[in-house]
Amino acid sequence: MIAIRSQWRAFVAGASPAVYRILLHGMLYGLSFSISDMLFNFYLHSLGYNNAIAGEFQSIFRVAGVLLGIPVGMSIDRLSAQRMLYIGILSYGLGWAALLLSHGMTIGSLSALQLMSIIYFFIGAANLTINSAVVPLLSTVIEPHQRASMFGVSAAASTAIGFFGSLLGGSLPGWLAPWLGVAATDERAYRSALFAAVIFGLLAVLPLIGIKRAAHGMSRQGINSNTVIQEKPNVSFSRLLLFASPSVFFGIAGGMFVPFQNLYFRQQFNEPDSVVGICIALGSFAMGVGSIIGGPMAQRWGVRRGAAFSRILAAPLMIVMLITNFYVVSVAYDLNRMLVGLTFPLFSALMMQTVPLRQRGTATSMSSMTWSLGWAGASILSGYMQDAGSFNLVLIVSGLSYVVSGLLIYYLPYTDKLD
């Protein structure tokens, strides 16, 4: 609690109005994402699809990041992060609307499932754009020494709000079902509930309107400072790819389990949607807490070691989840989510201080691209592994991947110098 209060005081002391706007955007977008993340697998199951199909959809979502990561990053650097955020947010909200309205439709030789897959690919591309653009946008309105704390609070805004989004997502089908005259697990209940993701997704664009030249401006005290003028030389493409390589294994670690976490709690412990929603909500809250304490940890351990150790420590918690006791698993899950929340902003800060300002959009999107590559492959594999057996091997592979990602961060030649 002391670390959280210290982090919040540091945020309030250094935050500009632009930072608060970005923070509000993150909260609205996080609410939209958490609702859709909570309900979409259940929606697919209500349509008659199994875990393997759910895994394929998760892969499609991340393949968009693999194919479009570099073009999106270059567009951010050329057009500005702010403009790309507008495009990404509007595409995300409208994409979900199109997906839900297209149910049962066919176009030419495209089946309903194929049409949904294509739309979901574009939703994934929009998500990539949003996540890639927000970090370089935020980095232009803060000082270098504020990165760990500011990125932490920003990440906390979009993850901790998932606590409310998961609770809301778990409850909405039950609330809407009586009005629709169907069961809470009926496809119409899930589809209607998912329209909340459309509403909050579109609202997320509003806080960004009026941020003047945020993508090209400098932070308040740094506008005339030497740290802004004296830029680093460009980093080669191969070196950018090397710096992004830990994200591949981090993506594998997440992709093996996270897309199926709602199905895991339902199938392994026979819990209803409302209890599953509470479990995932607490995990989102834990991620938010982790994001906030990342700044103080970085001050004590350093950004590099903080990012590396948090990933390595997340691994044994996945192994603990092999235990069949619901309460033990719930605690291990929450602790794992806290460590994952902690490592995200620290790794973002590490990347931002390693590359020059003019390459930060490309670096962020390349990290997202490699993470998406790992996630896409892992989610497909995980879906088939679950249908063929259980979640045990899934949890083991996820834990090992956390370790590899942490070791790469620790040994690769990132810079620890703030500029």
- pLDDT tens-digit series, residues 75-93: 887 888 888 899 999 999 9
Model confidence band, residue 216 (pLDDT cutoffs 50, 70, 90): very low
How sure is the predictor about 23, in pLDDT bands with cuts at 50, 70 and 90?
Answer: confident
Average pLDDT over residues 403-409: 94
Break the chain into its structural domains and give their ranges.
18-211+236-411
- Cα 30 from Cα 25, distance rounded (Å): 8
Structure tokens at 185: 């697990």
Closest to 352 measured CA to CA, from 343, 337, 362, 342: 362
Instruction: Give the mean model confidence (pLDDT) for residues 349-354.
Output: 80
Output the CA torsion 237→308→401→52 (10° steps): -80
pLDDT grade, residue 153 (50/70/90)? low
- Interaxial angle between packed helices 17-46 and 112-139, expressed in degrees from 0 to 180 and rounded to the nearest 10: 160
| Predicted confidence (pLDDT) at residue 123 exceeds the cutoff of 90 | yes
| pLDDT the model gives residue 143 | 60
DSSP 182: S
Q: Which one of 29-38, 122-131, 291-300, 329-338 scores highest in mean pLDDT?
A: 329-338
Question: CB of 198 within 8 A of CB of 96?
Answer: yes
Residue 353 has pLDDT above 60, yes or no: yes
Question: According to the model, what pLDDT value does residue 64 have?
Answer: 81
Q: Whose CA is closest to 143, among 228, 81, 229?
A: 228
Range with lowest mean pLDDT among 8-22, 243-257, 351-365: 8-22
Kindly tell me if the per-residue pLDDT of 221 is higher than 80: no
Q: Is the dihedral of CA 333, 338, 341, 344 positive or negative?
A: negative
- Under the banding of pLDDT at 50, 70 and 90, the label for residue 270 is confident
Look over the chain and give the mean of its residue pLDDT values, rounded to a whole number: 81
Q: What is the topology classification, in CATH, of domain 18-211+236-411? A: Growth Hormone; Chain: A; (1.20.1250)
Six-digit token string for 348 = 């973002």
| Band of pLDDT at residue 15, cut at 50, 70 and 90 | low
405 with 344: CB under 8 angstroms? no
Q: How big is the chain, counted in residues?
A: 419
Instruction: Tell me how far CA of residue 23 lies from CA of 7, 138, 159, 166, in angstroms.
Output: 15, 9, 11, 19
CB atoms within 10 A of CB 392: 13
Split at pLDDT 50, 70, 90, the class of 268 is confident
The answer to whether residue 319 scores a pLDDT higher than 60 is yes
Q: What are phi and psi of 102, to 5 degrees?
A: -85, 0
Cα–Cα dist 215/101, whole Å:
35
pLDDT surpassing 80 at residue 110: yes
In a 10 Å sphere around its CB, with 0-12 CB exposed, 13-18 middle and 19+ buried, how is residue 360 labelled? Answer: buried
**Nearest-5° angle of CA 175, CA 176, CA 181?**
120
154-165 pLDDT, tens per residue? 666 666 677 788
Predicted pLDDT at 276: 87
What is the reported pLDDT for 190?
Answer: 93
Do residues 42 and 273 lie in contact, with contact meaning Cβ atoms separated by under 8 Å?
Answer: yes
- Tokens read off for 181: 């005259």
Angstrom distance (rounded) from CA 46 to CA 101: 16
Give, as one character, the DSSP assignment of residue 125. H
Is the pLDDT at 146 greater than 70? The verdict is no
The closest alpha carbon to 133, from 28, 208, 228, belongs to 208
